[in-house]
Amino acid sequence: MRSPEDRDAVHALRQDRLFRIYHAPDTPWFVPYDRAHPDDVAPRKPVYVLEGGGGHVLATARLDLRGSHAVVRLVAVAAEAEGRGLGRALMEGLEAEAASLDVRRLCLNAQGAAEGFYRRLGWAPSWWPSHSADPRSIPMTKWVARAEVGERKVRAA
């Protein structure tokens, strides 16, 4: 990631908005958050962020590039910024980025509470190779529109 501040903000968002909710201690789904997880340092797994005023990171997601398809992971919007279109802007930015990288299909594992969000953005439940084995999650996919020249809405962190 680009700066220590970005890295800290991304870790904080993931912990607060994903791991605290979906992988909490004292549940069968407990997963301790690992700031040094190998997936984050592996090649072709860029982390993207959206900033608010003052350069604060308000939303983040990772794109795991796998040739003609890519997996969107760890989508999180700050609690104070929820419901204001940032999630949509983040995902549209990711789609534009994927299109520019010749990715044809995007895949993700949706938590039940977020399924409606993804449906709203044109995603549909669909099997994809090596989707999550977590029975709570819903495999979803979306075809990527052809790349257009235009403003990028996300930047690599």
> Which segment (42-50, 81-89, 125-133, 144-152) binds ligand COA by CB under 6 A?
81-89
**Footprint of ligand COA on residues 56-75 (CB under 6 A)?**
75
**Count, residues near ligand COA per rule CB under 6 A:** 19
What is the rounded CA–CA span in Å between residue 51 and residue 121?
20
Map tokens 């992988």 to a residue.
Answer: 23
**Footprint of ligand COA on residues 105-124 (CB under 6 A)?**
110-111, 113-114, 116-117, 120
**Footprint of ligand COA on residues 14-33 (CB under 6 A)?**
17-18
Q: Which is nearer to ligand COA, 79 or 145 (CB)?
A: 79
Give the nearest distance from C-beta 1 to ligand COA in angstroms: 19
Report the run of H or E that residue 115 belongs to, with start and end. helix 115-120
Beta bridge partners of 137: none
The Cα angle at residue 118 between residues 41 and 57, in degrees rounded to 5: 45
Residue from 10, 50, 57, 76 that binds ligand COA (CB under 6 A)?
A: 76
Site track for ligand COA across 36-55, x = CB under 6 A: --------------------
Closest listed residue to residue 145, CA positions, set 104, 107, 117: 104
What is the rounded CA–CA span in Å between residue 143 and residue 151?
20
Residue from 55, 85, 122, 125 that binds ligand COA (CB under 6 A)?
A: 85
Residue from 2, 35, 84, 152 that binds ligand COA (CB under 6 A)?
A: 84
* Distances 1 to 5, 13, 129, 140 between C-alpha atoms, Å: 9, 15, 27, 27
What is the rounded CA–CA span in Å between residue 49 and residue 14?
12
Footprint of ligand COA (CB under 6 A) = 17-18, 75-77, 82-88, 110-111, 113-114, 116-117, 120
